[in-house]
Amino acid sequence: MKGTILDGHALNPGDLDWSVLTDKGDFTIFEGTSPDEVLERCSGCEVVITNKVAFDRKVIEALPQLRYIGVTATGYNIIDTQAAKEHGVAVTNIPAYSTNAVAQHVFAFLLELADGVGLHDASVKAGDWERSASFCYWKRPLFELEGKRIGIVGAGNIGRRVASLARAFGMEVLYTSPHSRIEGARLVSFDELVASCPIISLHCPLSVDTLHMVDDEALGRMGEGTILINCSRGPLVDSGAVLRALDSGRLSWYCADVLEVEPPRDDMLVHHPHTLITPHIAWAPLETRSRLLDIASDNLEAWLEGRQLNRIV
């Protein structure tokens, strides 16, 4: 079996062992692949492993030997699944591998805002404490999470884990979800959530219904000084609307691990003084990526044996 890994660097920059996957066939590994390199690098391959490299109908139809696409992520919108189905190409994804890591990242943002550890470390290293007339100082108001209300949009694995951590900090949890439920939290409408929660965390998939769900209208219903956290998908928010809300004070902070365009290109959110932006790393702890690679291997093995595991098509 001939296979290729098209954009392996993000998953494994050198700290994991590819053999758990590549021992199953004759694989070529590329750190990254541009759109105009896809056909050449996939030519003759039955199996393709991709994270962000897209496979539209035109690409799928140009690869007659292709039989399997393994997406090394939970989201699979980069694949034309209808075209894959029509051409007998199996598609798998990696669900629920990053639950703990993403929830942890949400609280990394929240704790930075609450305690300012990074902010004050930088201040001390800049000599501010040495010049201080007092034994202590703080660069911005600090606050406790205990007793604060957090609103969670989406009640999947990550949303439920965020709720669990929030309760451990003594927070009150509200959530909105069309299907799933969170035990020990109060289910409300999206409108009620945005109007009544000073902290809001987004944990829902990107779809035609959720695209720009946080727009001027939704932001206008939020209370003054709301903290908005997005560790889900960049396009869930209208970036221009978020900028306006930050400038007006409607949002006190926007914390995001994802942006509408990645890597960003002159995105004003990156430079705003009231944003915390990380480069899509909530999924990146070593343990999380190791789990992802193991599941990708299991998915491929199941397909080779004629079993269904994490099959989208």
Q: Which strand (E) or helix (H) includes residue 112?
A: helix 99-115
Pick the catalytic residue from 31, 217, 262, 287: 262
Number of H helices, E strands in the chain: 12, 12
- Is residue 57 among the annotated active site residues? no
Pick the catalytic residue from 233, 250, 289, 291: 233
Position 305: which residue type? E
Q: How far apart are CA 114 and CA 255, in angstroms?
A: 13
14: left (phi over 0), alpha (psi -120 to 50) or beta: left
- Is residue 41 among the annotated active site residues? no
- Identify each DSSP E strand in 209-307 by its residue range: 226-230, 251-256, 275-277
Contacts of 18 (CB under 8 A, 6+ apart): 5, 8, 12, 27, 29, 293
Looking from the CA of 241 toward its CB, the CA atoms found within 13 Å total 17
| Cα 11 to Cα 52, 77, 151, 189, 258, distances in angstroms | 11, 18, 31, 37, 17
Q: How far apart are CA 116 and CA 108, in angstroms?
A: 11
Q: Are 21 and 59 in contact (CB under 8 A)?
A: no
Q: Are 214 and 202 in contact (CB under 8 A)?
A: yes
As given in the structure block, the two tokens for residue 299 are: 């998915």
As given in the structure block, the two tokens for residue 77 are: 């919108």
Q: Are 296 and 49 in contact (CB under 8 A)?
A: yes
- Is residue 233 among the annotated active site residues? yes
Pick the catalytic residue from 41, 260, 280, 301: 280
CB neighbourhood size of 189 (10 A): 9
Q: Are 228 and 246 in contact (CB under 8 A)?
A: no
Position 2: which residue type? K
Active site residues: 233, 262, 280
